[in-house]
Structure 1
Amino acid sequence: MPLVDWPLEKLQQYQGMNRKPADFEEYWKTAVAEMRAVEPNVELVPSTFQVPSADCYDLYFTGVRGARIHAKYLRPKQAKGKLPALLNFHGYTGHSGDWADKLSYVGLGFAVFSMDCRGQGGKSEDTGGVAGNTFRGHIIRGLDSGPENLLFRHIFLDTAQLASIIMELPEIDPERVGAYGGSQGGALAIACAALEPRIKKLAPVYPFLSDYRRVWEMDNTSSAYEELRAYFRQFDPMHEREQEFFETLGYIDIQHLADRIEGEVLMGVGLMDTVCPPSTQYAAYNKIRSPKQTLIYPDFGHEMLPGFHDRAMMFLAGLLPDK
C-alpha cells in the first residue's frame, strides 16, 4: 500500500511530538473559569428557513472577550419530551452550512446546533485585539500577544459554552448530547467533548489542529497548515523563536486535551491524507481513554470517506431514547 505517513502499526502507537506546556492544565482551568463567568445573553430568532417538519432558529450568545457567536438551531416540530441533541462543527475558514443538510438528524428526533466559528465564514464575531496577522491564519492568531490570546483558545471555549447552553435548555436532555464534524470540525468536536465532558458520543473525521511539530517535520505546510511557514517567513525568518512558537501552539493542540474526553468516540481516518496527516490524527486518538474506535480508509485522503457518515449516524443514533 502506498504511504504518505508511517505504517498503520506505528500510527497506532504514536504519542505525538509537539510538547505539552508545563502549565497546560492550569491554562485551561483558567480559560474555562473565564468562560463560565461570561453572561451568555442567549437570543433565539426564528429563521427565514422553515419547513413543515422542523422549527428553525438563529441562536446567538456572547462568548469570551465579548464576541457574539451564532449557531443554527433546528428541532423536530411538535416534539414531546426532552430531545437528544447534536453539536455540528464546520471545516476551517467555512461556516455552519445550509439548514437542509441537518434535517436528516432532525428527522431521527435530534435537536441540531451548528456553530459558526468566530472570524471565519459565518455570522459569528471576531472581536480582535491582537498584534500581527488577522486575515486567515487563525492557528497563529494571537501568538505574539500571549497564550491567553490565541484565537483557537476562544473558539474551543465557544464550543464548550454552546454545549453547556444547550444542556440547560428546557427542551434538551443533557444526558443525550453528542458532537460531530470533519477536519477543523473534527478537532472542535474533540475540544468540545474535552472541555465539556458531559458529551456522550462524538464522531470526528480526520481532525485538524493536532501535533503541529509533526506537521512541520513532514514539511506539510502547503495547505491547511500553510500559516505555520507564513509566520516564520513574516515574523521569525531565522527561526530564533521556533521552540517558543511550537510550545505556545501546544496550548491549542487537541492531542493534549484528548485524555479529558469521557464520551464514546468513533473517528474516521484516511491513510492517504496529506492535509491532516494520519500521524497527527493518531497523536490525538491514541490519548483518548474512553471507549473508542477508528474506521480506517487506506486509499483515501482528506475527502468524503464512503460510508463513514452512515456509520456515524448509526453510532450517534445510540443517543436516541428507547421508543
Structure 2
Amino acid sequence: MPHYASTLDELQRYAPEIVEPDDFDQFWRDTLAETVARPVLVDVRPESTDLRLLDSWDVTFAGFGGDPVRAWYTRPAGVADPLPTVVEYAGYGRGRGLPHERLTWPVAGYAHLLMDNRGQAGQYGAGDTADPHGAPGGPSPVTWGILDPRDYHYRRLITDAVRAVEAVRALPGVDGDRVTVVGNSQGGGIALAVAGLVDDLSAVLTTAPFLCDMQRAVALSEPAPYGEIARYLAVHREAEDAVWRTLSYVDGVSFARRATAPAHFGIGLRDTVCPPRTGFAAYNQYGAAAQLPVPPAREMHVYPFNGHEGGEAVHVRRQLRWLDSVLHPAHAFAH
C-alpha cells in the first residue's frame, strides 16, 4: 500500500474537520445571486458531427459575471421525448473538445451537456471559453486569483457549473426533474460543488475528485494541480494564510456535507494526483449537513491497484448501471 493511501480501513473512517469560513453559505448565496438577473441561454445552434445516431448543438450560456461559456449539447437522434440529462464537467487543463469526443452518456440514451472550462483549455484538450478576470496569483488555473476568494478562478468555474444546470433545464428535450452531474478529477470536484449548491439534482457521480480536503491534499500531492499550489507558496511564503482562506471557500468536503442527491464515488488507492484520503474525506461526510430525515444514498468503488485513472471502463459500466437504478428503480429490481 503506498504511503499516501493509508489502509482501506483507515480511509473508510477518515473524516477530518475542515475549517469552514463563517460566511461560507452567504458567500455562495451572494455569488450565485449575482447571476439570477441574466437570462441563462445566449445562443443554441445545431452542430454537424457526421454521427447519424446523435444530434448535437453548440450552446453558449451566461456564466459568472455574464461571461459567455461554451458547451456541447448532445442527445440520441430522432427522440422527441424529454430525456433524463447528464451535465458533465471536464478535468483540469481540458476544454470541451469536439462534440464526438465524449459519447458515453448520449449513446446510453441520456441528453448530455459537456461544459467548457473557462481559460483552461490547451494543456490536455481543446476549448474556446475565455476567463477574462485577472487578479494577483500564480501562473496556473489553480493559482489564478488565489489571494482572495472573490477573485479566485474556482469561484467563477463553480458558478459556471451551477449555471450549466440552469442552462440545460432551459434546452429542448430535457427532463428538468432528472438532471445528474458527473465529473472526474477536477470535474469530480466541480460536480461535488454543484451537488452542495443545487438541491434538486437526481444524482451526482464523482471519480477521483479534486478540490477536497485541500490543505491535506497540498501536503500529500506533488504533481499538478496541488503541486502548483505548493510551488506558488514556495515562492510567495507570506501568502500562506491568504491561500488557505481562499481555498476554504471551494473545498469539496464542505460542499459534499451540504449535498442532498444520491452519490456514486470512485477512487484509485494509488492516486498520487488526488490522494485517496481526500476523496474519502468527502465521501465519509457526504450529506452530513444536509438536514434530511434520511441521509442521501452513497456508494463507493475502490480500485486498490489503480492511480488517477481509477477503474476506467469498468467504473463507467458501474456508473451506468448505478444511475439507471437511481432513475429507474424498477429496472434494478427486475435485474
TM-score, with length taken from structure 2: 0.88
Query: For 1:314, which of 312, 315, 321 is the aligned residue?
Result: 321
Aligned equivalent of 2:223: 222
Q: How much does 1:18 deviate?
A: 4.5
Query: For 2:304, which of 288, 298, 308 is the aligned residue?
Result: 298
Q: How much does 1:72 deviate?
A: 0.7
> Counterparts of 2:318 and 2:47 in 1: how far apart (Å)?
30
Q: How much does 1:48 deviate?
A: 3.2
> Counterparts of 1:117 and 1:222 in 2: how far apart (Å)?
20
Q: Is the 8 A contact 1:17 1:213 kept in 2?
A: no
Aligned equivalent of 1:129: 134
> Counterparts of 1:104 and 1:269 in 2: how far apart (Å)?
20
Aligned equivalent of 1:87: 87
Aligned equivalent of 1:168: 170
Q: How much does 1:3 deviate?
A: 4.1
Give the 3 Å change call, closer, same or farther, for CA 283–35 of structure 1 in structure 2.
farther
CA offsets 1:50-103 (integer angstroms, 9 cap, x no match): 422121111001212232100111012221321111011111001224433433
Q: Is the 8 A contact 1:197 1:262 kept in 2?
A: yes
> Counterparts of 1:272 and 1:98 in 2: how far apart (Å)?
31
CA offsets 1:141-177 (integer angstroms, 9 cap, x no match): 1123x31121101111111111012123342111111
- Opposite residue 84 of structure 2, the aligned amino acid is P
- Opposite residue 178 of structure 2, the aligned amino acid is R
Aligned equivalent of 1:139: 142
Q: Is the 8 A contact 1:3 1:271 kept in 2?
A: no
**Superposed, which structure 2 residues align to 1:170-249 within 5 Å?**
170-218=172-220, 220-234=221-235, 236-237=236-237, 240-249=238-247
Counterpart of 2:141 in 1: which secondary structure? coil
RMSD, aligned CA = 2.0
> Counterparts of 1:286 and 1:69 in 2: how far apart (Å)?
33
Give the 3 Å change call, closer, same or farther, for CA 321–53 of structure 1 in structure 2.
farther
Identity %: 31
Q: Is the 8 A contact 1:183 1:208 kept in 2?
A: yes
> Counterparts of 2:14 and 2:106 in 1: how far apart (Å)?
38
> Counterparts of 1:18 and 1:259 in 2: how far apart (Å)?
10
Counterpart of 1:147 in 2: which secondary structure? coil
Aligned residues: 316
Counterpart of 2:182 in 1: which secondary structure? strand
- Opposite residue 114 of structure 1, the aligned amino acid is L
- Opposite residue 217 of structure 1, the aligned amino acid is A
Larger mean CA deviation between 163-172 and 277-286 belongs to 163-172
Give the 3 Å change call, closer, same or farther, for CA 207–266 of structure 1 in structure 2.
same
Task: For structure 2, list consecutive stretches of 5 or more residues without a partner in the other structure.
Answer: 122-126, 288-295
- Opposite residue 138 of structure 1, the aligned amino acid is P
Give the 3 Å change call, closer, same or farther, for CA 242–17 of structure 1 in structure 2.
farther
TM-score, with length taken from structure 1: 0.91
Task: For structure 1, list consecutive stretches of 5 or more residues without a partner in the other structure.
Answer: none
Query: For 1:270, which of 250, 261, 268 is the aligned residue?
Result: 268
Q: How much does 1:124 deviate?
A: 1.4
Q: How much does 1:178 deviate?
A: 1.0
Does 1:105 find its partner at 2:111? no
Query: For 1:281, which of 255, 279, 282 is the aligned residue?
Result: 279
Larger mean CA deviation between 16-25 and 293-302 belongs to 16-25
> Counterparts of 2:223 and 2:101 in 1: how far apart (Å)?
30
> Counterparts of 2:53 and 2:6 in 1: how far apart (Å)?
47
Give the 3 Å change call, closer, same or farther, for CA 41–308 of structure 1 in structure 2.
closer
Q: How much does 1:4 deviate?
A: 2.6
CA offsets 1:247-294 (integer angstroms, 9 cap, x no match): 221001111111222111111011111110011111111221221010
Query: 1 or 2 for the larger relative contact order (CA 8 Å, sep ≥6)?
Result: 1
> Counterparts of 1:260 and 1:251 in 2: how far apart (Å)?
13
Q: Is the 8 A contact 1:16 1:214 kept in 2?
A: no
Give the 3 Å change call, closer, same or farther, for CA 213–103 of structure 1 in structure 2.
closer
**Superposed, which structure 2 residues align to 1:53-64 within 5 Å?**
53-64=53-64
Give the 3 Å change call, closer, same or farther, for CA 292–48 of structure 1 in structure 2.
same
